[in-house]
Structure 1
Amino acid sequence: MGKRVRVAIVDDHPLVLCGLRKALEDEGIEVLVAVSRPSDLLTLLAMTQCDVVLTDYSMPCGGTLDGWRFITSLSSEFPKLSTLVFSEFDDPFLVGSLVQRGVAGIVSKRDHMSELVKAVRVLADGGRYLSPIAHAAHAQFNAQPEFRRFTALSRRQMEVTGLMLCGLSVCETARLLHRRENTVSAQRTEAYKRLGFSGELEMYRFAVGHGLWLERSVSGIEMNRV
């Protein structure tokens, strides 16, 4: 008998949530928690232990903790917990940025369900996993110069840069990461310098010009105001 695998799921679509639970339980994987709001998941994780968190990327009905912000909060509160992103978004910049910031697994909703089951088992054993579609997107990320420059960032710098691209201020970022504001400010400065920019405004303009955005709930509208 294989290792007992325990999973927590969050997805804001009830039918998807139900389908994920059934698919995993049919494979002998225990679903401890299945909720539609990221904030509810964080509350429940404080009271139970699991091996893998399976999460959608964009869940606007879940409140402010969505997308990159939620994943950041999750890793900040539960740093040893493996996160598997199961998302309809599989463009190169998003996938590459998630890998760069240390997300353990990514599976596209266009992949076969067997990929999700395989990913959960790999992550539960402490591994990392990219589905075929996610792997192809990551290869494109590494192949395109405007994307590849972000590989110069450390995991922590990519985390902070992602929050910058989501429009968070130094104060908001510090609060989310439980860090001092001067620490976050220094990390942001080091990040845009490593990316080859003279300042944050230049980085924002580059991101808008190349369609590099990580906030999916607003479809890039806020970024285009820069």
Structure 2
Amino acid sequence: MTHTIKCIRLHKEFKGDGVNTIALNQVNLEFKEGEFVSIVGSSGSGKSTFLSLVGTLDKPSGGTVHYGKLDLKGFNSKELADFRFENIGFVFQQYHLLPTLTALENVMAPLLSRKVSYDKKERAKQLLEEVGLGDKMNSLPSQLSGGQQQRVAVARALIHEPHWLLADEPTGNLDTETGEMIFDLLLRLNKEKGCGVIFVTHESALAVRADRMIEMKDGSVIRDTGVSGL
């Protein structure tokens, strides 16, 4: 199948205390295979909500997400989990590394309950080499800097060679120089591995370096510097 992502009238409301809050309002967007896209906007603009829906971590109140010809609307929880494993890698602002596991073990963690056709340990070692941490494989997260922990998280996201890498404020906890290093790493991996990247950020200096930049406000897309929405 092709690995384009198409969002059609994607909508998300949160209900509480008798009040409905619209977090995402009828968004239509399409992402081409292998594209590097940044999404910007102030807090509360809907960026992270949009990413969680595209990544199938949450379900929309309305609308659909298509991966190629696949409509995910009817998938149950197990089917969505299997789909994510096969197609999507996640990088978050918080690194979410397991503190008692080494860098190598953290990278391998998504594979622990999965049968795969490759050597898990060898692939994890290769990825840590690629993100510049070949000498930190046996280090615990507490022995790594914030930038190093985020590089471990990037390697973990790539362990099953996903078609899309979804990054939610991955440089938000890092200083400017380290944040740029992480962004450059994602750019390089995008080019070398061909996986698409959707990069949510507050940092306009990084966002403008993507192939395409989408700006959101109040749950809607207000600007798209690349391919127009549907």
* TM-score category of the 2 structures, normalised to the smaller one: 0.3 to 0.5
TM-score normalised per structure 2: 0.32
TM-score normalised per structure 1: 0.33
